[in-house]
Structure 1
Amino acid sequence: MKRFTLTVLAALILFLGGCAHVISPAVRRQAQWDLSVSEVQKNPDYYRGKVVIWSGRILSGENLSTATVLEILQLPADRQGRPRDFTRSEGRFLARDKRFLDTALYAPGRLVTVAGTVAGAERRRVGQVPYTYPVLDVLELHLWPQESQRVRDPYACDRYPPIWWHFYFGHGW
């Protein structure tokens, strides 16, 4: 019985480890998970210094002498942090990274997950419309592989229903 319990525990750890979030646990513990782009946009100074994790699609990138600034359209994310729902968005935000990021790689259309500290807001235009962008100072940044380059993992956690599904709607073990 002890051997069975250890085997099940090891399998569970491996299963959950395969679905790990792309942002480190230390940063995730600091993050304000319920803080949305639209909320920060309304009162950026109030949220200054808060850590958030947002995912989205890069709209543009600009290399400055001191940082790279990415304009990102926020998109809802899955359990790993990968943007999934391309029909809803809370708005746009800017991710400011002190490192040089090659904008040929961090190009428009690429998906990213950003963990960063709210640094305020910046007014820019979207077409002819003035827009207030929340600005994040990047702590961690994950660039997702492009779909055409991504090898589909047959054991990926987003491919199968969660384990509890089988107990309620399936045949159990």
Structure 2
Amino acid sequence: MRPLAVTLVLLLGGCVATPVFKHIPAHASPAPRDVARSINEQLERSVLWGGMVIELREFAGHAAIELLGYPLDAQARPVPQARDGGRFIAVRAGRLDPAEVVPGRFVTVSGRISGERLGRLNGEDYIWPEVDALEMHLWPRDLNLREHPRTRIGLGVQLSR
């Protein structure tokens, strides 16, 4: 029994920890682009969104992060190889470290849709859904460069003549 326990510890030791969010929606979260189309019906909806930081803005008492949304994988990591889901603003109480929350870094947030921001993007009107980020996970800087582990367990059979 002991060799099995040691093997399991070694195998699981290399796994990346999945962040634990307390505020996870019961149903899959719609993409930010879809929420922007019907923002009034979506207010107060719980979402779990992730994306790439575009810009961090700090204000008195809170910070706002503009993110380019991406679908999430099973570990709640944004998948930058997928088609983006539109932009959104994550609002977080307090201050954030501008040396850590930099453009190009990936973030996953859990929270509630609290409103919208109107503006122009690439010369066109744009609506950014705004999320009150109750929880936030900042992914390692090399998230989009890492090769995800491919663990396979199999049983080999060799036939000889």
TM bucket, shorter chain = 0.7 to 0.9
Distance between the aligned counterparts of 1:145 and 1:126, measured in 2? 28
Give matches, 1:85-96, under 5 Å.
85-96=80-91
Contact 1:31 1:50 in 2 (8 A): no
Aligned-residue offset at 1:82: 1.5
Distance 1:39 1:129 in 2: 17
CA contact (8 A) 1:77 1:85 kept: no
Match of 1:46? Answer: 41
1:20 positional shift: 4.9
Q: By how many angstroms is 1:78 displaced?
A: 1.8
Q: Out of 82, 85, 95, which is 2:77 matched to?
A: 82
Root-mean-square deviation (Å) = 3.1
Structure 1, unmatched stretches of 5+, are: none
| Counterpart Cα distance in 2 of 1:145 and 1:83 | 12
Summarize the alignment of residues 1-173 of structure 1 with structure 2, pairs less than 5 Å apart.
11=8, 15=12, 18=15, 20-24=17-21, 26-28=22-24, 30-147=25-142, 158-161=148-151, 170-171=154-155
Quick one: distance in 1 between partners of 2:84 and 2:99?
25
Give the strand-richer structure, 1 or 2: 2
Cα 1:134–1:109 shift into 2, 3 Å = same
% identity of equivalent residues? 29
- Tell me, in whole angstroms, the C-alpha distance in 1 between the residues paired with 2:95 and 2:58: 7
Per-residue CA deviations over 1:38-76 (Å, capped at 9, x if unaligned) read 221111121111111111100011001131000000112
Separation in structure 1 between the aligned mates of residue 29 and residue 100 of structure 2, nearest angstrom:
30
Cα contact 2:111–2:134 (8 A) shared by 1: yes
* Distance across 2 between alignment mates of 1:145 and 1:111: 8
Higher-helix-fraction structure: 1
Q: Distance in 1 between matches of 2:123 and 2:40?
A: 25
- Structure 1 runs (4+) greater than 2 angstroms displaced: 18-21, 84-87
d(CA) in 2 for partners of 1:171, 1:119 = 52
Give the Cα–Cα distance (whole angstroms) in 2 for the partners of residues 139 and 81 of structure 1. Answer: 15
CA distance in 1, matches of 2:111, 2:26: 9
Aligned-residue offset at 1:129? 1.7
Residues 23 and 47 of structure 1: CA distance in aligned 2, closer, same or farther (over 3 Å): farther
